[in-house]
Amino acid sequence: MSTSEVVGKLLEQLRSRASLHVQRSKKLKDRLKPESAKNNVNNVVVRRRFTPRPLVSASSSDYFTRLVNSSPKPLVLRSVHHPVTNHLLKLSQSSNYRHVHIHRCIHMRSYRGLVLLSSLKLIKEYCSRNGPCHRIYTTSHSNKLLSDPGVKFDKVLIVSKKLLQKIGNLYSYKNGLVAEVPLPEPSSSLGVPRLVLAVCPSNKAKSRISGANLGTIIRSAQALEWQGVYVLKNDQIDLFDPLTIRSSQYSLSTLPYLKGTVSEIIEFIKSNNLLACHCANDGISVESDEFSDKLRSHCGLMLIIGHIPHELYTLSNKISVKSTHLSPSIDNGNSVGNSTDFSLSGDSISEPIGACSVKYSLDDQVQTGIAMYLIKKLYFKHVSASPFIMS
């Protein structure tokens, strides 16, 4: 090969390399150059046309999922400042937080409207009726309760013992569970009610009956087959904190209930022709003929308990539980029967000198429970437990 041919071949290679270098530089400049609005729109259209975009799933847009994904993910949740901890503490302590529903778009689910169950029995009952809980909180994945066939859940989160005890409002904790489930919504109506318990909650220090005690009364109403509950609206308390749920055994999830203002309760009483009553010291006995005559002119009865507003207090009738029965007393080895009077007069126990008669004082909670039993037994024995079934 001659010298001229060798030089020509080298020049040809240099030209091809230079051309390739120019093409690569042009592509790089085109990528770095800002695109116009029109080009951006065209690119978006092309991507949407040829790349399938699945709909946003409800689980990925759920507030709790986004909360977990946007925050640190410790193996064991210990900090009270963690967003998930704040969420749980608000569910436990704030009625406003429990009840708020937010739907920002069609695919977003409500992240509130939730309550916490801190009893294994209640968790099992919920799962048997409604299926899996949203989330279960415990202290270890090795907790044997997680393998219980009656406990069903979608997700498990590990929380420290101290934090779980605070969230569940528990006095003591040992290998338990706390479940997050939907809040039971009020009924649209109570059908044709004949036995209704009206609950007036309050968090005032002077209130004689706490929310937990009201929960016990609601539980008794369900056990005695009263037909429904009417809860007076109060922004500060809703009877769905963990302690009240345990005391009521989550009765409001199966017992029909309404929520309303004082005027709405009064309208409910009048429209259903109910005899409104509340327990008082100077009330008439539920076993008396006077009470029976009053009840005969009404279709049913509403028993009111709690921090009763003035309008309801003046509208309702005062009733009391006064029962006399034989009370054994030991006197020189002999048993003597004497009368015992149950009333609300005072807080003392009196025993007359030379006699065996003892006068007991019953608080509102105990007297209301006894009144519910007597009213059901004496006047509504054959009434159905459901207000939607005529009897």
Query: How many other CB atoms are found less than 10 A from the CB of residue 1?
Result: 6
The residues that bridge with 317 in the sheet, in sequence order, are 277
Residues 85 and 162 grouped into a single domain? yes
Residues 107 and 154 grouped into a single domain? yes
Last residue of a domain, one of 115, 150, 182: 182
In whole angstroms, give the CA distance from residue 48 to residue 287. 77
Last residue of a domain, one of 133, 154, 182: 182
Residues 246 and 371 grouped into a single domain? yes
Domain assignment present for 94: yes
Q: Is the dihedral of CA 153, 154, 160, 166 positive or negative?
A: negative
Residues 310 and 228 grouped into a single domain? yes
Domain assignment present for 151: yes
Residues 150 and 107 grouped into a single domain? yes
Residues 144 and 174 grouped into a single domain? yes
Residues 174 and 112 grouped into a single domain? yes
Residues 279 and 352 grouped into a single domain? no
pTM score, whole prediction = 0.72
Residues 115 and 210 grouped into a single domain? no
The residues that bridge with 338 in the sheet, in sequence order, are 327
Enclosing domain of residue 307: 195-321+365-379
Radius of gyration of the chain (CA): 35
Domain assignment present for 88: yes
> b/e map of 37-58 (b: 16 or more CB within 10 Å)?
eeeeeeeeeeeeeeeeeeeeee
Domain assignment present for 65: no
Angle (nearest 5°) at CA 375 between 374 and 380: 120
Domain assignment present for 2: no
Q: Are 184 and 252 in contact (CB under 8 A)?
A: yes
The residues that bridge with 302 in the sheet, in sequence order, are 196, 276
Q: Which tokens is 170 given?
A: 């528990």
In whole angstroms, give the CA distance from residue 353 to residue 347. 19
**Residue written as token pair 């159905």:** 384
In the chain, alpha helices (H) = 3-32, 37-50, 58-61, 63-69, 83-93, 95-99, 120-130, 161-167, 211-223, 242-248, 262-271, 289-296, 310-315, 364-379
pLDDT tens, the chain, 391 aa long? 678 887 788 888 888 888 887 777 776 666 665 655 545 555 544 444 433 444 344 444 466 777 777 777 788 889 888 889 999 999 998 888 887 654 444 333 445 689 999 999 999 999 999 999 989 999 988 889 999 999 999 899 999 999 999 999 887 777 789 999 999 999 989 999 999 999 998 866 666 677 788 999 999 999 999 999 999 987 667 889 999 999 999 999 999 999 999 999 999 999 999 999 999 878 999 999 999 999 999 999 999 998 899 999 999 999 998 754 434 433 434 333 333 343 333 333 344 444 444 455 567 788 899 999 999 999 999 998 888 887 6
Residues 241 and 375 grouped into a single domain? yes
Residues 285 and 369 grouped into a single domain? yes
